[in-house]
Amino acid sequence: MGLQKIDAKMLTKMFLAGAKNLESKKEWINELNVFPVPDGDTGTNMTMTIMSAAKEVAALGETADMIAICKAISSGSLRGARGNSGVILSQLFRGFTKRIKDEQELTVTVLAESYEKAVESAYKAVMKPKEGTILTVAKGIADKAKELVEEGCDDVAEFLRQVIDHGYYVLSQTPEMLPVLKQAGVVDSGGQGLMEVLSGALDAYLGKEVDLSLDSPAGKSAPASGKSSLEVQAGAEIKFGYCTEFIILLNKTFNIKMEMDFKAYLESIGDSIVCVADDDVVKVHVHTNDPGLAIQKALKYGALSNMKIDNMRLEHQEKLFKMSEKSGEPLPVELSDTKTAKVENVKKEEVPPKDFGFIAVSAGEGVNEIFRSLGVDYIIEGGQTMNPSTADILDAVDKVNAKTIFILPNNKNIILAANQAVELTTEKDLLVIPTKTIPQGIAAVINFVPDMSADENEAAMIQEISNVKTGQVTYAVRDTVIDDKEIKKDDFMGLGDHGILSVGTEINAVAKETIAQMVDEDSVLISIYYGNDVTQEDAEAFRSEVESSHPSCDVELQYGGQPIYYYVMSVE
């Protein structure tokens, strides 16, 4: 008979081991991307999601109880969620921890019920769940867990082994559920990521030696700058100058939404955030340049006590002077004239919020400038190679001084994270316009009418983006077959809204064929955004070819500067 239960200490070890195992496999999981494009990011998204939670769990230490661990897993993954796969993973954790948080030890029965709760939470987060994905793998695991309990299995180790074996079986069947996986010769990458988490956790439970450290390897060499140790330390930037600590004595219920909103606000004004909530108090630590902002925000939740504010820049320089006196090493020039430092803190005047604001996810300096010129208030750098997290979106929301904010994800893999940000925001109205491409985002903001209501604008923008067809030209990173098209490594591919439109060895031919597949008798405008790997001369020559092929359409050419995609093209 093996071990029968999992306590808080073991859960911590298992979670960190699962996170580390996923991190070690992230590049391989990226390569499981169905489309052989150079932006496969499932492994990266899932890793960044779980590592956000792992850091919070590790910070609790070995004495943390089940409630604290569950809160760290749930809130950490929720705020760190990136991409569809990351959001779904965070929801699995959220449901799982909701069931176990009040338990001292986890039995087989509790684990089975928590798996069921995890699947329920994840399916709710997805508007149109698709089988053959991470959701299917998670559901298969939950079903197997329930079956084992009904059969009387009470050995945790044996239970976990059988559950994981079945998870791998379900994963192996995903190509039979999604033809696109079968054509590409891969299993679902999100499902594979989930199995790596569970496999790492099982290794830790079975006592295998696992590296649980989350920091970079120790033993880094000294800076090879030729500078003295004092010069190196003097040059170390202290971005936020005041170490601010206090306790909030709550005068109302501090629920998860309030906590997430408060943490998001703290992250928007500083770093080194610690925010730990108990029944009636919240412990807060933040490094910021304006302690007053943190204090004013906290006062909304209750009275403050145990307040402490330290000027870290002054302390840093005092340390350097002491080191100089002790070692005899001269001070750096920029510090030699004074032994005091003064940080000016200018209080910004309160500016009334405007009615509407815009946040857009964008990649490429040209595209960024287009959005700015159209009145977008805040650009989140990201997109194909780095999906912004829910926390990134919340941070952007805090920086836009508007009552209602329209969010343009401009990538289908960011929409879920944006929707999750809506759920975590209480002080502003957020409306996610489900733009899946940059051209759709541009069309949406162009059709915004300030005199219309938020609901009217939302309806109008959603209607307009449905009229935009998008094509993108990139290159293949491996041999595969998709949509009955044979693709060789380094071939050029034209990707449409619903699949691959063209494949070939000549970039302009592929781009022209992609446009031809999108143009119909109602088309009047073709827009071309050329990327940072295309010269202006080549782009203008391509536009001339398109104008000749489609004389009934206006053809616009703009510099996008986007990575990975040579051309992003739209037809309206």
Q: What is the DSSP string of 225-243?
A: TS--HHHHHHHS--SS-EE
Length of the chain: 572
| Assigned architecture for domain 469-571 | 2-Layer Sandwich (3.30)
Mean pLDDT by 10 residues, the chain (572 residues): 74 93 88 63 87 90 89 85 82 91 92 94 77 92 95 92 94 88 83 94 87 48 36 49 78 74 83 63 76 86 76 58 53 41 39 90 90 90 73 89 94 89 87 94 91 93 93 88 84 89 92 93 91 91 93 90 91 92
Per-residue HEC secondary structure of 139-168 comes to HHHHHHHHHHHHCCCCCHHHHHHHHHHHHH
CA distance 248 to 236: 32
According to the model, what pLDDT value does residue 347 have?
Answer: 39
CATH 3.30.70 domain position(s) in the chain:
232-330
CATH 3.40.50.510 domain position(s) in the chain:
354-465
According to the model, what pLDDT value does residue 453 have?
Answer: 94
CA distance 497 to 491: 19
Reading the block at residue 85, the tokens are: 């796969």
Reading the block at residue 359, the tokens are: 């946040």
According to the model, what pLDDT value does residue 338 have?
Answer: 36
The letter for the amino acid at 175 is P
Reduced to 3 states, what is the DSSP secondary structure of residue 536? Answer: helix
| Assigned architecture for domain 232-330 | 2-Layer Sandwich (3.30)
CA distance 26 to 45: 9
What is the CATH superfamily name and number for domain 6-205? DhaL domain (1.25.40.340)
213 CB contacts (<8 Å, ≥6 apart)? none
458 CB contacts (<8 Å, ≥6 apart)? 406, 431, 433
φ, ψ of residue 284 in degrees (nearest 5): -125, 135
CATH 3.30.1180.10 domain position(s) in the chain:
469-571
Reading the block at residue 131, the tokens are: 């089988």
φ, ψ of residue 435 in degrees (nearest 5): -75, 130
CATH 1.25.40.340 domain position(s) in the chain:
6-205
Cα-based torsion angle of the residue sequence 497, 499, 503, 506 in order, rounded to the nearest 10 degrees: 20
According to the model, what pLDDT value does residue 12 have?
Answer: 93
Tell whether pTM > 0.75.
no
Residue with tokens 């994981």: 164
CB atoms under 10 Å from CB of 62, counted, come to 8
Q: Which residues pair with 558 in a beta bridge?
A: 529
Q: Which residues pair with 250 in a beta bridge?
A: 302
242-250 and 302-311 strand pairing: antiparallel
What is the CATH number that goes with domain 354-465? 3.40.50.510
* Cβ atoms of residues 248 and 300 within 8 Å: no
**Cα-trace Rg, the chain:** 26
According to the model, what pLDDT value does residue 324 have?
Answer: 54
Nearest CA among 63, 72, 68, 66 for reference residue 19: 72
CA distance 145 to 155: 12
CA distance 361 to 387: 9
CA distance 339 to 314: 9
